Amino acid sequence: MGKVVIGMSMSLDGYINDRTGSVAALYPDFETLASTESLRDSMLTTGAVVMGKRTFAMGNPDSYADTYEYQVPIFVVTHHPPAKHPRETDRLKFSFVQTGLESAIAQAKAAAGEKDVTVVGGATVFQDCLRLKLADEMHIDILPVLLGAGLRLFDSFEEAPILLDKIKVLETPVRTSLQFRVRK
């Protein structure tokens, strides 16, 4: 069975978006991001993705079929599925899970088989994975920018302390990727 890996990019001062809700400052290397060691490894080992509704809706959901780095089943945690089901491929299928994060993770694990479940985007989904002890690993990419305001990843997180073991630190010209094992 694979691992559940939660991942997020954030500014050095802990923000996952700026005061307007934009994540642009956290992806100045978007065009080259897919060639980084951490994302290449993740794409190879991921068998399913879980994401929150806001993350799903950040871009054009129909474009996921052609451009999303994870061409695997995607489980979107939401109270209300979109009126129009997004375009899919043979490998990338969308499931809109209305029964909560634990159910989405269980469905994603079944779909992933021996591969990992990668959880992307959304402070609430990220924090809930930790709070519910669903995450096996945490991958944080730190960008060399101070946003000063916006949404902080751990501001309202009350589950501390959660102990982590460092697995790996990877450097690129733009980001530092920190990988941790979550102690159970």
Q: Per residue in 89-125, pLDDT tens?
A: 999 999 999 999 999 999 999 999 999 999 997 889 9
Residue 144's contacts (CB-CB under 8 Å, 6 or more residues apart) are: 12, 174, 175
Q: ∠ CA 72-76-82 to the nearest 5 degrees?
A: 115
Q: Which residues of the chain have pLDDT under 50?
A: none
Contact (Cβ atoms closer than 8 angstroms) between residue 181 and residue 165: yes
pTM: 0.92
All domains of the chain, ordered by start, with CATH?
4-80+88-182 (3.40.430.10)
